[in-house]
C-alpha cells in the first residue's frame, strides 16, 4: 500500500485580472481604515448581512454571509499596513466560484485624495458561465462606488 502524501484543494486561479478602481476625496489612511479592514467589508457591501472572523492577522478566516443565503469563506494571505495593501483567497463558497484570489491596495494621490484598487482573479465552477467575469466586475465596481459615497 502506497503511503498517503501531502495534498491540498487550494490553488491559485488562472485567468485575467478583473480590476475595479475609484478615486475618493479623503486621506489614504481614512480610505485604508475602511477597505483594509478584512472583517469590515459589510460596511460597503450592502448584500452582506454580517461577517464572522476566525483568528486575527495573516491566516485569519472570514465568513461572509449574504442576504440571499450564500456564504463565502476567505483566508487573509498577506497584509501590509504601511503600504496599505492586502491579499486573500476564497477557500469555500456557495456562489459557484471554483477559485478566487483578490487584492486591495490604497494609494495617496494627495493629502485629501486617494485611490483604491481591487484586483480579482477568479474561475467559475461552470466553465460555460458566460456572464461570470461581468458579474465579478459589477460586484467590485458596485462595492467601490459605495466606498466613494461613504467617504467622498
In CATH terms, the fold of domain 18-151 is Alpha-D-Glucose-1,6-Bisphosphate; Chain A, domain 4 (3.30.530)
Q: pTM of the entire structure?
A: 0.93
Q: Are 48 and 66 in contact (CB under 8 A)?
A: yes
Q: Are 62 and 55 in contact (CB under 8 A)?
A: no
CA dihedral 141, 96, 66, 117 (to 10 degrees): -30
Domain boundaries, the chain: 18-151
What pLDDT tens digit does each residue of the chain (152 aa) get? Answer: 999 998 888 889 988 999 999 999 999 999 999 999 999 999 999 999 999 999 999 999 999 999 999 999 999 999 999 999 999 999 999 999 999 999 999 999 999 999 999 999 999 998 777 889 999 999 999 999 999 999 98
Tell me the three state secondary structure of residue 133.
helix
d(CA 119, CA 140): 9
Amino acid at each position: 500500500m502506497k503511503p498517503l502524501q501531502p495534498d491540498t484543494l487550494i490553488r491559485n486561479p488562472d485567468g485575467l485580472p478583473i480590476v475595479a478602481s475609484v478615486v475618493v476625496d479623503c486621506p489614504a489612511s481614512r480610505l485604508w481604515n475602511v477597505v483594509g479592514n478584512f472583517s469590515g467589508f459589510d460596511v460597503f457591501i450592502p448584500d452582506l448581512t454580517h461577517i464572522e472572523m476566525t483568528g486575527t492577522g495573516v491566516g485569519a478566516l472570514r465568513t461572509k454571509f449574504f442576504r440571499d443565503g450564500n456564504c463565502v469563506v476567505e483566508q487573509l494571505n498577506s497584509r501590509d499596513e504601511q503600504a496599505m495593501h492586502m491579499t486573500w483567497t476564497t477557500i469555500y463558497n456557495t456562489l459557484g466560484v471554483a477559485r478566487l484570489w483578490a487584492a486591495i491596495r490604497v494609494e495617496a494621490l494627495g493629502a485629501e485624495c486617494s485611490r483604491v484598487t481591487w484586483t480579482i482573479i477568479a474561475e467559475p465552477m461552470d466553465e460555460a458561465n458566460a456572464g461570470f467575469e461581468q458579474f465579478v466586475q459589477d460586484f467590485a465596481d458596485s462595492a467601490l462606488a459605495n466606498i466613494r459615497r461613504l467617504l467622498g
